[in-house]
């Protein structure tokens, strides 16, 4: 079994621990859990779970009492989903929101600058990428 197959197996085990929309983790933990999906897709090319990440972030963003960091991480998740899908329209939206986060740590070990570069590339703005 190669590393991608093994990591896919571990990813499946993690996703079995939470409902399909990652509900129930609590608003403060859901964005980070949702972030693992597009990060996994970025590393492996396996994109079949991106809708789960989108669904979870939509639910997060519909909450009335979110800490600002949860909103930023949720937008970062949507940014990574946009990159994986080559969705220029969503990339523009997420870029507009996240550009004020330059120089900060966005998700775990992913800096906003890296995500902004990927979004710029997805938007077709190679000079900014």
| CA-CA-CA-CA torsion sign (13, 15, 19, 25) | positive
Say how far apart CA 95 and CA 87 lie, in whole Å. 12
Give residue-wise pLDDT tens across range 89-123. 999 999 999 999 999 988 777 899 999 999 999 99
- Which pLDDT score is estimated for 17? 56
The secondary structure of 50-72 as a DSSP string is HHHHHHHHHHHHT-SS--HHHHH
């Amino acid at each position: 079994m190669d590393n991608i197959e093994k990591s896919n197996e571990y990813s499946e085990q993690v996703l079995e621990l939470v409902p399909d929309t990652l509900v129930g983790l609590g608003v403060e933990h859901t964005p980070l859990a949702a972030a693992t999906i597009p990060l996994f897709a970025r590393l492996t090319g396996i994109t079949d779970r991106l809708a789960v990440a989108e669904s979870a972030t939509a639910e997060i963003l519909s909450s009335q009492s979110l800490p600002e960091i949860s909103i930023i991480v949720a937008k970062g998740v949507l940014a990574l989903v946009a990159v994986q899908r080559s969705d220029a329209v969503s990339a523009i939206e997420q870029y507009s929101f996240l550009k004020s986060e330059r120089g900060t740590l966005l998700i775990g070990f992913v800096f906003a600058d890296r995500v902004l570069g990927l979004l710029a590339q997805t938007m077709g703005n190679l000079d900014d990428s």
